[in-house]
Amino acid sequence: MSARTFWIGAAGSVIFLAVFIVLFVDFGTIGRVLREANYVYLAPSVVLYFVAVYFRTVRWRSLLRPLLPQPRRGVFPVVVAGYAANNVIPVRIGEVVRSYYLAVREKVSTAGVFGTIAVERASDVVVLLFFLALSWLALPVGGAFDRVADQTPGGAPVLAVAALLPFVVVTALVVALALTSRETALKLFDRALSPVPERARLKALGLMGRLLEGLTVVRSPRGLAWLFALSLPVWAAEAAMYYVISLGFDLRPEGAGPVEFAALILLFTAAANLAGVVPSSAGSWGPFDFFGAAALVALGTENGVASAYALTVHVALWVPPTALGLGILIADGTSLRKLARTARKGPGPIEQLPASKVAP
């Protein structure tokens, strides 16, 4: 991570936070909403968050099986420590920190571990796009959301195609990468990047190589389906967390039924978390809040309620794993600073992983 990358991320957060404040925050209204909110729902929401982390651990252990058939130590603490690093170190370098931390604890291939994390992120994008498609398909059912289809040129059919298209395209790309040989995929990627300067092209090829190494554990349609099945409860638990927090706010738009409100929560989940692809500072402050609030406001939630809710969800996501993860590192005698310094050098050369696949 260069200084330029850091400042790009910081600028991204500042810009999106500024737009978030200008468009959605009225300090009088947001203050009233935060005072009147019922925070008793935060405790069960945090439990649901760690249920999601548990499912992340189950998924990661499945991906790690070719590298680490029998971990000597728990994988759950490594996952939590990685999310803590993401929350305090910019540009999601916490993912690389997580790969180094596991490599230190278990004496395994750092580059191979990083490849499995890249596969995790790809599966997260697929599931979030699936949630996005589900939410948009459910929104025009009736009530306050009829106008979504009415205002779309071509009506509900066009809306359905627009909702499904990103999910179909990204899923097809992941499937194609998984089922194509590593050498063929790298040659095609290298050819597509031929106009790019050599230094940037080599970095991109290195990242793609690590992603393809991680994909060696899901080199079959059955393995891909199993990975998708493992990813669904991760995001279902996190969406349930967002739903529980929403019970403390007057979030449901007028006329929205239970199905439409569930769709609204899925839309918030997808929009806020897909915003992680936007450069930002540690913890995705700015993009998460802006896109999450924008999704709610676009579908009828009042600005002050949407902004207060988005900020509350973000704090609930940030504080518990950060505190627990840093505590784990301290108890383990591991320096986050040292891990981060090593991670900035990159995950290192790619080692060949054994050909295998995820098995249920």
Residues 108 and 72: their CA atoms lie apart, in Å, by 11
Look at residues 158, 66, 165 and name the one whose alpha carbon lies nearest to residue 119: 66
Say what the pLDDT of residue 4 is: 61
From the list 11, 83, 4, 41, the residue with the least C-alpha distance to 273 is 83
353: nearest Cα among 133, 100, 64: 64
- Tokens 């990083």 belong to 114
Q: Is 26 left (phi over 0), alpha (psi -120 to 50) or beta?
A: beta
Encode 197-245 in three state secondary structure: CHHHHHHHHHHHHHHHHHHHHECCHHHHHHHHHHHHHHHHHHHHHHHHH
- CA distances (Å), origin 53, targets 50, 78, 232, 347: 5, 11, 12, 23
CA distance 104 to 60: 17
Among the listed residues 121, 187, 114, 117, the one whose alpha carbon sits nearest the alpha carbon of residue 348: 114
Q: In the structure, how many helices (H) and strands (E) does the chain have? A: 15, 0
Return the amino acid letter for 207. Answer: L
pLDDT tens per residue across all 360 residues of the chain = 455 666 666 676 778 778 878 877 777 788 888 888 899 999 999 999 999 999 999 999 988 887 777 777 788 999 999 888 888 877 667 778 888 888 888 877 777 787 788 788 888 888 998 898 888 777 654 444 455 555 555 555 555 565 566 666 766 776 776 677 777 878 888 888 888 888 888 877 777 776 666 666 676 778 788 888 999 999 999 999 999 999 999 787 776 778 888 888 999 999 899 887 666 667 788 889 988 998 888 777 888 888 999 999 999 999 999 999 999 988 888 877 777 776 665 554 433 333 333 334
Three-class SS state of 89:
coil
Q: Angle at Cα 167 formed by Cα 164 and Cα 170, nearest 5°?
A: 145
Residue 302 token pair: 């009042």
The answer to whether 287 and 278 have CB atoms below 8 angstroms apart is yes
